[in-house]
């Protein structure tokens, strides 16, 4: 049986919900009347609690978050012993955590004493830390009583899951409460795994983890066990949860099979069909797409299904599906027209192909497909030396389809062709248009160089050493509770991540909101999962609802968005090695971002290792040449030293031309030598367009695009010049 105090806790959970709802209503009404801030200030004043600052730019604690515990100790102690302030609370909390990590419970207890009263935002965490400190001093009764106080005082805080976990080690009923009340908390997930370790045949625990940990390592095996051995226990809703998990992990055939047993909806029908299609089961996929058309003829997914059906069908049937997409789904019409044109072309029906493309230009001129067709024609005309024709075909791309991925490129080349036609003002206007509207693009850098900005060119970039200013505090996440945001800003990543997991919301198919996805990315980057974090931010551009697009565009106006997308880890190592080799440090960091996304132990299929993706054979050559005796390519210092040494070599091969040096880093000096011999190199922009390896062409544009972004984000002169327009 649970003790009386725990029974009281259970009662507090239900009553606490009502109280929280009433309090929330009161706070909402107060906020509407402009009284919330006044209430807060009165509350802080009455309790002698320093209010949370609205601007942390003057904080003395936050810049110390990234400093090691030993280096920051004396500064934190000085702040912690000073006059009452919010920074004093933060300093005490950080110091206490530092001492706990060093198993110094007594020192932590002195700092935590009464801290929950002056630092109410983190009161549950403070009680949890106090319990841990008591454990370290072997005061187990006090530790248990502190955890029980946490449960009584903050029964709805996700931190209660931590208390349930520790108390549950001696009384399993506490753990039952964690499973019921905090299913998203990592500690609760550990409870489920522990129970499975004791008894692997507990379907309720398998289902619990399948529902609540869809992305975690090992959950795929749990889904497989449920499907193979306990499918009789799965409801249609369970099947959809399992299917979503498979889908999110790109296991499409298994997802398709599971969606076939999920509740009927346009989503489940489409994914059952698409999963089979991706897996190569085309006959089954076609039948499934056709079932979707019958069941949900007007659903958004049906428009996409018509395009897929066209790809799986012979010409007469394919034309029928494409026409149905054009007639019934305007957002799919541009792609359907392009496929119509391509199919007519394949059947030697040139006139019909031309009619389809003209319809595309006339009716859907603002589409990405129209932009691609215009650019294709413009390139063909330019190749024939018809700069006027190329200019005329490319010019409408930016005005008609400004959101197209081709818009910055087309606008830049409009400027190039205007220069060739001796129209300098038109050229200048085009280059400035790129800088104003696509400042993050590779072509913004090319435009800046064309306008004479001091940002480095292919032939001068190597030896430059731009000024760099890196923020010394973390940004404020756009989602999550105030407690979570505080923990994140304090660098308490483990605690912040646990709180985030417990409290974040998701849509029915498990997708995060735009602010939540960006917040998730910040957390991943803070934990050095740069690849996942950067991909999370980059994929925000794929959101397609008007509200999501607006949220994404709003984020893009914030400096922290770009700083997270282009992070600056290993800065001191990069700076030192770049100076040793007389190479622009921003070029080195740009190459690292492209090669590895800062994952220090990553390995390619070709055997390249580490941050700068160095092949072991190349590493040995560079190490021997530079008399490096011992090195490890998974060690950041060694990898950057050797990778920068190789980048120095590729620059020397091509008289410090960074375009050829970067191309050589990717494709090898031999291939680049052939291209220089084959193609005219008078115009480097034309040379980039002629690189025959698609991977290398994209690599060159990405590395120099990275360089430009690091320059515009972290160099105060360029940043100020861009923002002043």
Q: What is the pLDDT of residue 668?
A: 93
Q: What is the pLDDT of residue 41?
A: 42
d(CA 295, CA 273): 13
Q: What is the pLDDT of residue 697?
A: 97
Task: Name the phi and psi angles at 285, rounded to 5.
Answer: -65, -45
Q: What is the pLDDT of residue 47?
A: 52
Per-residue b or e along 428-437, where b marks 16 or more CB atoms closer than 10 Å to that residue's CB = bebbbbbbee
d(CA 422, CA 418): 6
What's the gap between Cα 204 and its chain centre? 33
d(CA 383, CA 133): 73
- State the sign of the Cα–Cα–Cα–Cα dihedral 36, 42, 46, 48: positive
Identify the band that residue 525 occupies on the pLDDT scale cut at 50, 70 and 90.
very high
Task: Note the pLDDT tens digit of each residue in 572-604.
Answer: 999 999 999 999 999 999 999 999 999 999 999
pLDDT at 556 over 70: yes
pLDDT at 346 over 80: yes
Task: Note the pLDDT tens digit of each residue in 404-439.
Answer: 999 999 999 999 999 999 999 999 999 999 999 999
Report whether 412 contacts 431 (CB < 8 A).
Answer: yes
Q: What is the pLDDT of residue 56?
A: 80
Task: Note the pLDDT tens digit of each residue in 17-27.
Answer: 433 443 444 43
CATH architecture of the domain with range 371-444: Alpha Horseshoe (1.25)
Q: What is the pLDDT of residue 48?
A: 62
pLDDT at 378 over 70: yes
| Average pLDDT of the residues in 28-50 | 46
Q: Could you tell me how many residues make up the chain?
A: 725
Q: What is the pLDDT of residue 12?
A: 35
Least confident of 35-44, 192-201, 446-455, 662-671: 35-44
Break the chain down into helix, strand, coil percent, rounded to 5: 70, 0, 30
The burial class, CB within 10 Å (0-12 / 13-18 / 19+), for 392 is middle
Question: In the chain, what percentage of residues exceed pLDDT 90?
Answer: 86
User: Rounded to the nearest 10 degrees, how much is the dihedral formed by the CA atoms of 685, 642, 708, 568?
Assistant: 160
The answer to whether domain 571-723 has CATH 1.10.530.10 is: yes
d(CA 643, CA 708): 21
Pick one of 1.10.645.10, 1.25.40.10, 2.10.109.10, 2.102.10.10 as the CATH number of 207-363.
1.25.40.10
Identify the band that residue 629 occupies on the pLDDT scale cut at 50, 70 and 90.
confident
d(CA 237, CA 315): 39
Tell me how crowded residue 229 is: count the other CB atoms within 10 A of its CB: 12
Question: Which of 474, 50, 509, 590 lies closest to 242 in space, CA to CA?
Answer: 509
Identify the band that residue 33 occupies on the pLDDT scale cut at 50, 70 and 90.
very low
Q: What is the pLDDT of residue 189?
A: 96
Task: Note the pLDDT tens digit of each residue in 155-183.
Answer: 999 999 999 999 999 999 999 999 999 99
Report whether 612 contacts 644 (CB < 8 A).
Answer: yes
Identify the band that residue 510 occupies on the pLDDT scale cut at 50, 70 and 90.
low
pLDDT averaged over the chain?
Answer: 91
Per-residue b or e along 395-419, where b marks 16 or more CB atoms closer than 10 Å to that residue's CB = bbbbebbeebebbbbbbbbbbbbbb
Q: What is the pLDDT of residue 507?
A: 54
Give ∠ CA 302-308-312 in degrees, rounded to 5: 135
Q: What is the pLDDT of residue 506?
A: 58
Task: Note the pLDDT tens digit of each residue in 229-273.
Answer: 989 889 999 999 999 999 988 999 999 999 999 999 999 999 999
pTM (predicted TM-score): 0.89
- The domain covering 4-50+72-183 belongs, at the CATH homologous superfamily level, to Tetratricopeptide repeat domain (1.25.40.10)
pLDDT at 223 over 60: yes
pLDDT at 46 over 50: no
Q: What is the pLDDT of residue 150?
A: 98
Three-state secondary-structure class, residue 383? helix
Identify the band that residue 627 occupies on the pLDDT scale cut at 50, 70 and 90.
confident
Q: What is the pLDDT of residue 650?
A: 96
Question: In whole angstroms, how large is the CA radius of gyration of the chain?
Answer: 30
User: Looking at per-residue confidence, does 28 or 323 come out higher?
Assistant: 323
Identify the band that residue 30 occupies on the pLDDT scale cut at 50, 70 and 90.
very low
| Average pLDDT of the residues in 386-404 | 94
Report whether 610 contacts 634 (CB < 8 A).
Answer: yes
| Average pLDDT of the residues in 102-127 | 97
Structure tokens at 219: 């959950």
Report whether 20 contacts 156 (CB < 8 A).
Answer: yes
């Amino acid at each position: 049986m649970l003790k009386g105090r725990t029974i009281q806790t259970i009662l507090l959970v239900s009553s606490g919900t009502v109280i929280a709802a009433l309090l929330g209503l009161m706070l909402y009404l107060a906020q509407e009347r402009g009284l919330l801030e006044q209430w807060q200030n009165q509350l802080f004043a009455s309790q002698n609690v320093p209010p949370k600052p609205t601007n942390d730019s003057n904080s003395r604690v936050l810049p110390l978050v990234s400093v090691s515990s030993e280096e920051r100790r004396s500064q934190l102690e000085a702040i912690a012993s000073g006059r009452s302030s919010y920074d004093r609370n933060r300093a005490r909390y950080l110091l206490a955590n530092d001492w706990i990590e060093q198993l110094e419970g007594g020192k932590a207890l002195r700092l935590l004493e009464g801290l929950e009263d002056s630092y109410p935002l983190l009161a549950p965490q403070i009680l949890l830390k106090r319990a841990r400190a008591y454990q370290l001093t072997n005061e187990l009764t006090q530790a248990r009583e502190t955890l029980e106080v946490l449960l009584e005082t903050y029964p709805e805080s996700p931190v209660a899951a931590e208390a349930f976990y520790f108390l549950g080690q001696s009384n399993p009923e506490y753990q039952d409460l964690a499973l019921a009340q905090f299913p998203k908390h990592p500690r609760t997930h550990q409870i489920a795994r522990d129970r499975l370790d004791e008894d692997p045949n507990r379907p309720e625990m398998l289902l619990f983890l399948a529902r609540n940990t869809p992305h975690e390592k090992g959950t795929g095996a749990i889904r497989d066990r449920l499907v193979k051995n306990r499918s009789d226990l799965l409801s249609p809703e369970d099947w959809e949860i399992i299917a979503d998990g498979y889908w999110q992990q790109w296991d499409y055939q298994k997802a398709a099979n599971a969606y076939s047993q999920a509740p009927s909806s346009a989503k489940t029908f489409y994914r059952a069909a698409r999963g089979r299609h991706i897996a190569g089961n085309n006959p089954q996929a076609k039948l499934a797409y056709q079932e979707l058309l019958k069941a949900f003829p007007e659903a958004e997914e049906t428009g996409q299904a018509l395009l897929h059906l066209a790809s799986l069908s012979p010409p007469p049937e394919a034309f029928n599906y494409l026409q149905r997409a054009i007639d019934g789904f305007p957002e799919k019409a541009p792609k359907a027209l392009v496929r119509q044109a391509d199919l007519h072309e394949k059947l030697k029906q040139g006139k019909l192909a031309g009619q389809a493309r003209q319809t595309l230009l006339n009716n859907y001129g603002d589409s990405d497909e129209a932009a691609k067709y215009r650019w294709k024609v413009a390139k063909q005309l330019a190749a024939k030396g018809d700069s006027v024709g190329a200019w005329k075909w490319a010019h409408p791309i930016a005005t008609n389809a400004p959101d197209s991925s081709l818009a910055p490129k087309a606008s830049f080349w409009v400027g190039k062709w205007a220069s060739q036609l001796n129209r300098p003002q038109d050229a200048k206007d085009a280059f400035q248009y790129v800088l104003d509207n696509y400042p993050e693009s590779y072509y913004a850098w090319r435009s800046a160089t064309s306008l004479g900005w001091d940002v480095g060119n292919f032939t001068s970039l190597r030896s430059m050493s731009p000024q760099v200013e890196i923020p010394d505090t973390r940004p404020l996440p756009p989602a999550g509770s105030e407690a979570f945001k505080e923990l994140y800003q304090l660098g308490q990543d483990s605690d912040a991540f646990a709180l985030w997991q417990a409290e974040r919301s998701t849509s029915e198919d498990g997708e995060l909101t735009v602010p939540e996805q960006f917040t998730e990315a910040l957390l991943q980057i803070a934990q050095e999962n740069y690849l996942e974090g950067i991909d999370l931010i980059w994929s925000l551009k794929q959101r397609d609802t008007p509200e999501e697009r607006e949220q994404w565009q709003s984020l893009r106006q914030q400096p922290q968005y770009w700083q997270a997308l282009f992070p600056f880890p290993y800065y001191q190592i990069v700076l030192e090695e770049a100076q040793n080799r007389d190479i622009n440090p921003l070029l080195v960091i740009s190459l690292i971002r492209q090669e590895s996304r800062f994952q220090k132990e990553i390995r390619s299929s070709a055997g390249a290792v580490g941050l700068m993706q160095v092949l072991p054979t190349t590493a040995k050559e560079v190490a021997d040449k530079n008399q490096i005796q011992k090195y490890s390519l998974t060690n950041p210092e060694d990898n950057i030293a050797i990778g920068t040494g190789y980048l120095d070599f590729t620059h020397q091969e091509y008289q410090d031309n960074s375009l050829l040096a970067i191309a050589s880093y990717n494709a090898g000096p031999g291939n680049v030598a052939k291209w220089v011999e084959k193609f005219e190199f008078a115009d480097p922009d034309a040379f980039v367009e002629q690189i025959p390896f698609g991977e290398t062409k994209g690599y060159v544009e990405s590395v120099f695009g990275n360089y430009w972004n690091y320059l515009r984000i972290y160099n105060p002169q360029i940043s100020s010049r861009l923002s002043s327009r």
